[in-house]
């Protein structure tokens, strides 16, 4: 039977927690990673109504985009509906996991899904890109144990580069040393005599997040207690990632036409438009799901004609208007686009890994706003 940690582990290969913005409470929200999963639910929000939906559907694992807890609960007053919701989760043995800005930043994740709704071409991250920290390990070992060392390092996760796995480089050479005493002599050689040994240097690259397990694999599989290795940080090999997307529409359209397109693709009755001229043609679009209003300068820096996001405040709206760029505030709930995409991903992984679980997509609309 599959456990929560198995599902989470596969997801975090796609959108690792280290991609999340500083202070974002991604990961396990409540429950037990070792809990067995029979039915999981994918949702945007974890609210009392979605928890009741999970209970009614006999769900034991909720996977949400928005964390259930952005800050610690204190005091745990059960007269507060959100706190009562946590109690219901515990009572019904439901584990909750949240993937927030790591999913936003992931390549092929939230903001790429939004960009796909408009067929944006040649997309790039809107925010400055960052690169995953990578290391190069070079370890010296006996030639007759080199293969086992390579296999151990690869099994620990080292050597995965781009579309290749189990990558390594070897160089054979001669090591020379003089033992100081019989106790530390090599293969029975006398102390104070030069010893020459054919050794192989094995080099592998790996991300910083698995440093501990790679070094443990190296030490556990080396035939000597004392041995040499080099470990250096390297640039240019890590996965690049960044928040938001900027790309070009297949054909120009007016601000008004784009706003109407937003209403259509997001199935919402209206949007807020910030523009000096709604009949102006736009083609280069910047977008950031969620509350992205304060990042409009980054959209400007990428020469965007229009910025699509949510939760634009009054004064920021004035600043955007003064900048000459147009903007569409389609609301925070446009991120509900994650539900069908996450469902497809988990169905794919379930089939590949023979998880044999039911995957349910929440049917509730958790948008708190109504248009009258």
Nearest to 173 by CA among 208, 147, 131, 201: 201
Residue 104 is assigned to a ligand binding site: yes
**Dist CA 205 CA 232 (whole Å):** 10
**Dist CA 346 CA 141 (whole Å):** 41
DSSP class of 293:
G
Q: How many CA atoms lie within 13 Å of 33's alpha carbon, on the beta-carbon side?
A: 9
Residue 184 is assigned to a ligand binding site: no
DSSP class of 144:
G
Residue 332 is assigned to a ligand binding site: yes
**Dist CA 79 CA 125 (whole Å):** 43
**Dist CA 58 CA 61 (whole Å):** 9
**Dist CA 200 CA 139 (whole Å):** 8
**Dist CA 41 CA 89 (whole Å):** 13
Three-state SS at 151: helix
Nearest to 114 by CA among 280, 320, 269, 266: 266
Distance from the Cα of residue 33 to its chain's centroid:
18
Q: Which single residue is written with the structure tokens 């456990």? A: 3
What number of H helices and E strands is found in the chain?
11, 17
Helical (H) or strand (E) element with 305: none
Provide the annotated binding site: 65-66, 104, 332, 335
Binding-site residue positions for a divalent metal cation: 65-66, 104, 332, 335
């Amino acid at each position: 039977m599959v456990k929560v940690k198995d599902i989470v582990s596969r997801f975090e290969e796609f959108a690792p927690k280290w991609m999340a913005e500083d202070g974002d409470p991604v990961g396990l929200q409540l429950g037990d990673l070792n809990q067995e999963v029979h039915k999981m639910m994918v949702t945007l929000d974890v609210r009392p109504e979605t928890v009741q939906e999970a209970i009614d559907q006999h769900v034991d694992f909720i996977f949400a985009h928005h964390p259930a807890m952005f800050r610690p609960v204190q005091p745990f007053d059960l007269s507060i509906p959100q706190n009562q919701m946590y109690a219901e989760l515990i009572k019904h043995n439901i584990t909750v996991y949240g993937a927030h800005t790591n999913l936003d930043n992931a390549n092929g994740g939230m903001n790429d899904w939004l960009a796909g709704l408009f067929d944006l071409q040649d997309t790039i991250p809107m925010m400055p890109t960052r690169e995953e920290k990578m290391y190069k390990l070079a370890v010296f070992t006996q030639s007759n144990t080199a293969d086992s060392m390579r296999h151990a390092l690869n099994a620990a996760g080292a050597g995965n580069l781009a579309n290749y796995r189990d990558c390594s480089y070897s160089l054979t050479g001669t090591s020379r040393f003089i033992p100081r005493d019989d106790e530390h002599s090599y293969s029975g050689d006398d102390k104070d005599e030069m010893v020459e040994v054919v050794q192989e240097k094995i080099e592998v690259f790996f991300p910083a997040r698995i440093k501990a397990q790679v070094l443990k694999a190296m030490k556990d599989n080396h035939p000597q207690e004392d041995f040499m290795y080099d470990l250096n940080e390297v640039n240019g090999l890590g996965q690049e990632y960044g928040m938001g997307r900027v790309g070009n529409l297949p054909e120009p359209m007016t601000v008004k036409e784009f706003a109407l397109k937003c209403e259509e693709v997001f199935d919402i009755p209206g949007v807020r438009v910030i523009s000096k001229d709604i009949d102006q043609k736009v083609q280069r679009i910047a977008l950031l799901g969620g509350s992205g209003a304060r990042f409009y300068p980054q959209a400007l820096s990428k020469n965007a004609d229009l910025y699509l996001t949510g939760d634009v405040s009054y004064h920021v709206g004035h600043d955007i208007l003064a900048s000459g760029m147009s903007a569409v505030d389609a609301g925070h709930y446009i991120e509900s686009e994650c539900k069908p995409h996450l469902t497809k991903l988990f169905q794919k992984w379930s089939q590949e890994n023979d998880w044999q679980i039911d995957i349910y997509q929440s049917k509730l609309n958790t948008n708190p706003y109504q248009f009258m």
